[in-house]
Structure 1
Amino acid sequence: MPINAEQVADAFGLGRVLDDRPLANGDRPAVTRIVSTTDGRWVVKYDRLGSSDRPDLAEWQRTKAWTVHRLESAAAAAGIPMAHPVQPPEPSVGFWYAPPDAGGELVRVTTWVEGRDLRSGQVPDEELASWLGGVLARIARLDVEVDQDADASPVHPLDEWRDWVGEAEGATDLELGRAARAVLTVVEDSADLIADALRHRPPLTMTHGDAARANILATPTGLVLIDWESATAEVPWWDAVSNAVRLAAPDERSIAGGDPRIVRALIGSYRDQGGPAGPADATAFTGLLVGHLSFTAWCLWVALGHRDESPEQVAFCTRSLHDAAEHLPRILRNLDTWTRLLA
């Protein structure tokens, strides 16, 4: 049976519950709530191990949870500004409590941080970029075991892409086929760059994995990085470059045409704070390209009906595929310009 707020508060020792309400824009598929108690306010996130049709997910979730646990614990010990997870009672999976006889349900508690995320831009962009570059450098220097299974997004072979695009072009939605074909052109044009970069890939470190504006809070005491559950094994230089370009983007749909001052500020701060740097050439954008193409591949599968997703998710992925068809070619055209900003 589902575990309620009172049971969570009792298990974690949070005090008596005064209020329990949904958190707007809570993460999916987990359900997130704000719980106020006599001891404070808490972010309570619910999830479950596996599912009836995908029991194999449970082992992946366990591995991921302990990977996140190691990175978050090291970051907290190093004093990186973050929302601190509350140590769960046993039995636990990382920072998740797995109540006995709860049918695989999980619950995680984090201290509430009073602030607003930066999607509405309360902090000057160059100031934010300098702060984030320094934080990424500190994360890259943490002594954390690298989980090779948490490696960055997969690179799909060209033959598989061509098969998927052929299927899309045979679908009744002609626009879907045209969008898929445009994406395939980018996959083909970037294949040699990505393959060469991966052959000579520097060592991986554990990274936050999603240091976007939505996961950075402006608080009365400064900026705070939240939501570490996308922890990823990545080349730290590629991660810094990817974050610089994303932060400089004019909107969330496209990363082309961003503000060069933001890229320079983030990369400069990252280097100044001792972040491991790499070549200032096109290979620095490998993580960015692979991440976009991996996400676009998933969207194409969903749009083609190869994933058991809701109509809303199918519509979202179809829109994302059309966005990718428009913006991915611009990313390739911008590589030379962006590369000059890394020097």
Structure 2
Amino acid sequence: MRPAWCRPRRRRRHRGSRNGGAHNRAAPGSSARRAPGKHPRVGWATRSYLVHVRQYARRLRSKLHAEIASLPEHSAWHTPRMPLNAVQVADAFGLGSVLEDRPLANGDRPAVTRVVSTTNGRWVVKHDRLGSAGRLDLSTWQRGKAWTVHRLESAAAAAGIPMAQPVQPPEPSVGFWYAPPDSDGELARVTEWVEGRDLREARVPDEELATWLGGVLARIAQLDVAVDEDADASSVFPLDEWRGWVREAESKADPALARAAHAVLGVVEDSADLVAEALRNRPALTMTHGDAAPANILATPSGLVLIDWESATADVAWWDAASNAVRLAAPDERSIAGGDPRIIRALIGSYRDAGGPAGPADATAFGGLLIGHLSFTAWCLWVALGHRDESAEQVAFCTRSLFDSAEHLPRILRELDDWARLLA
């Protein structure tokens, strides 16, 4: 039985008030008002009960706030901080006073890079963070990757390879990334600005560009940099996993997504034997730039420059050269199908002449190309299926890329033998 203080009293129905028959509520149009805080249908006992509930809720809320305040900074209750702003980055790296800060366009990809002008010059600032809300384990992988990039980028700069020069960050750092301890995992890195246009806009004679890139790739492959086996770019996903993703795509209310996933699965199944053979006979790994695409090559007044080394990875240098030859020869950046044979021959010839390590001149030379495309497509499919905590902009980009892969990968697979004849 409830205690007496919270038992509602039996209510009587009154026809009128004690003052002679007027109803116990204000007449229409009357200026009378109820007493503040009182409800016409709640009796005194119920109000007393609600008062006790509110008091208990206030005590509970105060206790909870006190417990949250006592949690350590890295706790999930900790409010994330905003990314480092331009002034903070400039102060930390000693770049001078900020004059201008604007985003750097990156085609149809979400921009994570800014151009910052200061009293000491012009700089490219990139932002990232260690881990994510649901995947704190990613920070370990990111740290290893950052130091791998640092070793290769430092060696390339020391060897005089034409590139944008990274700025050494203050401590604490992770590779070339500044990682202040009070920034909740936010990172920033700075590179000197290089005046020029990337090859999506600038026109450079095709064979001249191919000859330059073949020589640069060979020089990178010969740098004395320890190979990070954990950064091996040639891992593949089992067919069963791909089939599971396709079933998941079929369960979504998006027929186009399911069709694209099916088309990509067909390429995975058809290329399985070739990829397996390439991996069995794989030459030795070296450290490579990892993304020497036209978007990462600048045409400057003093010559061509290779930028954006954050994708540096352990790969077969011969595979990397073959892959870049085909990508450079493609008439459309979205697809590498239908490449110009002259460009492929020029790049491979320059690579060999500069002493780049070579391998079999057959379709297995494109094992890395297939693995890279399928790995990127797998990531796009994961994002499109909602398996990554990404922005709507990033989801849209990955969905478009998945549809592009579904359209172009089957043709790429059919052309491998034709490309292989150009490698000899």
Correspondence for 2:89: 8
Which of 244, 258, 263 aligns to 1:163? It is 244
Correspondence for 2:343: 262
Amino acid at match of 2:363: A
Q: By how many angstroms is 1:32 displaced? A: 2.1
Which of 310, 313, 319 aligns to 1:232? It is 313
- Shift of the 307–101 alpha-carbon distance from structure 1 to 2, 3 Å rule, reads closer
Correspondence for 1:279: 360
Q: By how many angstroms is 1:198 displaced? A: 0.6
Supply the distance in 2 between the matched residues of 1:339 and 1:43 (Cα, whole angstroms).
39
Q: What SS is found at the alignment partner of 1:42?
A: strand
Supply the distance in 1 between the matched residues of 2:368 and 2:276 (Cα, whole angstroms).
12
TM-score (normalised: structure 1): 0.94
Supply the distance in 2 between the matched residues of 1:222 and 1:55 (Cα, whole angstroms).
42
- Shift of the 57–127 alpha-carbon distance from structure 1 to 2, 3 Å rule, reads same
Correspondence for 1:91: 172
Query: Structure 1: which 5+ residue stretches go unaligned?
Result: none
Correspondence for 2:408: 327
- Shift of the 222–161 alpha-carbon distance from structure 1 to 2, 3 Å rule, reads same
Q: By how many angstroms is 1:291 displaced? A: 0.9
Correspondence for 1:154: 235
Supply the distance in 1 between the matched residues of 2:109 and 2:257 (Cα, whole angstroms).
26
Query: Structure 2: which 5+ residue stretches go unaligned?
Result: 1-80
Supply the distance in 1 between the matched residues of 2:352 and 2:205 (Cα, whole angstroms).
20
C-alpha RMSD of matched pairs (Å): 2.0
Count, aligned residues: 343
Q: What SS is found at the alignment partner of 1:206?
A: strand
Percentage of matched positions with identical amino acids: 83
Correspondence for 1:115: 196
Supply the distance in 2 between the matched residues of 1:219 and 1:27 (Cα, whole angstroms).
23
- Shift of the 28–180 alpha-carbon distance from structure 1 to 2, 3 Å rule, reads closer
Q: By how many angstroms is 1:83 displaced? A: 0.5
Which of 352, 366, 380 aligns to 1:299? It is 380
Q: What SS is found at the alignment partner of 2:347?
A: helix
119-128 or 161-170: bigger deviation? 161-170
Does 1:126 pair with 2:207?
Answer: yes
Amino acid at match of 2:302: T
Amino acid at match of 1:110: T
Which of 145, 155, 175 aligns to 2:256? It is 175
Supply the distance in 1 between the matched residues of 2:414 and 2:407 (Cα, whole angstroms).
12
Supply the distance in 1 between the matched residues of 2:84 and 2:373 (Cα, whole angstroms).
37
Which of 79, 100, 107 aligns to 1:19? It is 100
Q: Is the 8 A contact 1:30 1:46 kept in 2?
A: no
Q: By how many angstroms is 1:58 displaced? A: 1.5
Supply the distance in 1 between the matched residues of 2:165 and 2:228 (Cα, whole angstroms).
22
Correspondence for 1:82: 163
Q: By how many angstroms is 1:225 displaced? A: 0.3
- Shift of the 4–55 alpha-carbon distance from structure 1 to 2, 3 Å rule, reads same
Supply the distance in 2 between the matched residues of 1:316 and 1:19 (Cα, whole angstroms).
28
Q: Is the 8 A contact 1:30 1:45 kept in 2?
A: no
Q: What per-residue deviation string (whole Å, max 9, x for no partner) do you get for residues 22-47 of structure 1?
A: 22239977832222222221112222
109-118 or 294-303: bigger deviation? 294-303
Which of 379, 382, 399 aligns to 1:318? It is 399
Q: What SS is found at the alignment partner of 1:341?
A: coil
